[in-house]
Structure formats: structure tokens, C-alpha cells
Amino acid sequence: MAERVVEKYRGCDLVAAGQGTKFVGKAWRAGKSITKVDGSDIPSVMVQLKAKADDLLKDLAENSPEPLPAQYVEAMKRMLPSLSTAHLAMLKAHYKAADRSLTVTQLAKAAGYASFASANLQYGLVARSLWEELPIRLPVGADGQPIYTYALADEGDRSGTEAQWVWKLRPGVAAAIATLGLQN
């Protein structure tokens, strides 16, 4: 069994370790300690830490006002290393689009994906990464889960099929893309 486990989880740094005859863990977010737990073993400590991180994100999202452009810049700086070339291509295309509005099919084309479903999944993953760095209140789907794409964009025209749905880039995200030079 590992004596120490370190893991990044939803914008938090989690550490669990054996300490004498017990197991303890601590979580940090933005360099600040958010919780300390103990348990019977490292896996149980990690489960507790992840639950605390999830609760924190949920609370932050429920109680946060619309982020400032500078907050979007800092959040995107932190997530930038995890973005693929295709992810960046979608962000760039969305930024450059007329009225900063694109369909998922257009996002797919910009990234070289064969279908809108692939782009939808990948753009949702980018949005979830942003949300984990900068939690905001999001609409939920029929399954009760947040629709993470709203962290990047607001919905536009929904009159056609899902492949034709329009997403309009959030102004704060657009400002961060420009500030970070991702539009070039």
C-alpha cells in the first residue's frame, strides 16, 4: 500500500498519507487549505477529500457572482497546459466567429473532428476544466448534472437539430482568450 498519495482533483491538490498508525489527508485550493480528514486507510481518506472538494465547488458555484475578466484569465492560465491543439482550435474559432457565436458542427470542423458529437464532448471537457478552476452557477440537464458548456458559452438559437444549436462565447472567456493571445 502506498504511504502517500498526491492527486490533482477539480482544481484542488489532495494529499493522503499514513501517519503512525492512522491515515490523514489534506486538500488545498489556490494555495489555501480547505480541509483536513482522517480515515482507516488512504483510499477512504481520498474519498473524503474528493467529497469535500466537490462540496466546495458546489458551494462556490452557488454563491459566486459573474466572474471578472481577470478571474477568467487566471483560471484559463491554470488549465492551459491541459488543452490539446483541437481544444485550442475550437476556442480560437469561437473567438473569431461573427458575434462570437458558432454551432457545435462549426466547432467540430475547426478542430478537425468528424462529427458534432465529438466536438460536443471535447468542448464540454474544456468547459468542465474551466468550471473546476472558476466555479459558477450552471444550468442542469435532464439527468440533474450541470451542463458544463455554459462555463464557456451561453446558448443561442436552439431552433434546429442539436448539431445546429448555437453557442455564444461568454464575454469573460473571450477577454481571457484575447489577453492570453490564444486567438492568434
CA dihedral 63, 156, 87, 118 (to 10 degrees): 110
Angle, vertex CA 32, rays to CA 30 and CA 33, nearest 5: 130
The tens digit of pLDDT for each residue in 110-134 reads 999 999 999 999 999 999 999 999 9
Listed by start position, the domains of the chain span: 4-63, 69-179
| pTM attached to this predicted model | 0.84
The tens digit of pLDDT for each residue in 40-66 reads 999 999 999 999 999 999 888 888 888
Proportion of the chain above pLDDT 90, given as a percent: 79
Cα(92)–Cα(88) distance, integer angstroms: 6
Q: How many other C-beta atoms are found inside a 10 Å radius of the C-beta of residue 46?
A: 21
